[in-house]
Amino acid sequence: MVTEFILYYNTSFDARGTFHEEEHVPRGRTSASIELSPWANYTFHVKAKNGLGLSQPSLFTQVPCSSPERRPYTNPENVCLVSEDPTKLIIVWDVSMEENESVCYSYLLHLTLPYNTL
């Protein structure tokens, strides 16, 4: 007798063959509600478990589930200048790992020149 189902997923950012164990679903339930990261494509499969162990995985979902885009939670940190050439301006910053986990953002840089500097 099946005692539970285990939901696994992988995303478009995972290495081939990498699967994450997401949720244990008790016998009798046939659905799960999980939180998705933005900007990712997900595929899922399920294994059944009984007193003898786990089944082979189900087939993966045929159509990937795509999660929507969203704004970053935080601003870049440690913004600083590293220029050594007076004719070039090089600006660097750190991106938090939470933001960098599954998203490839681009940043818009605004430069404000003091009045009458040109």
**Tokens 């020149």 found at:** 113
pLDDT digits (tens, 9 = 90+) for 98-117: 554 555 556 677 777 776 65
Prediction pTM value: 0.63
Element containing residue 47 per DSSP (H, E): strand 41-50
Interatomic CA distance for residues 91 and 106, integer angstroms: 14
- pLDDT band of residue 58 (cuts 50, 70, 90) is very high
- pLDDT band of residue 22 (cuts 50, 70, 90) is very high
Highest mean pLDDT among 57-66, 90-99, 107-116: 57-66
The whole-number pLDDT of residue 100 equals 47
Which amino acid is located at 65 in the chain? C
Which amino acid is located at 52 in the chain? L
Domains and CATH numbers, the chain: 4-66 (2.60.40.10)
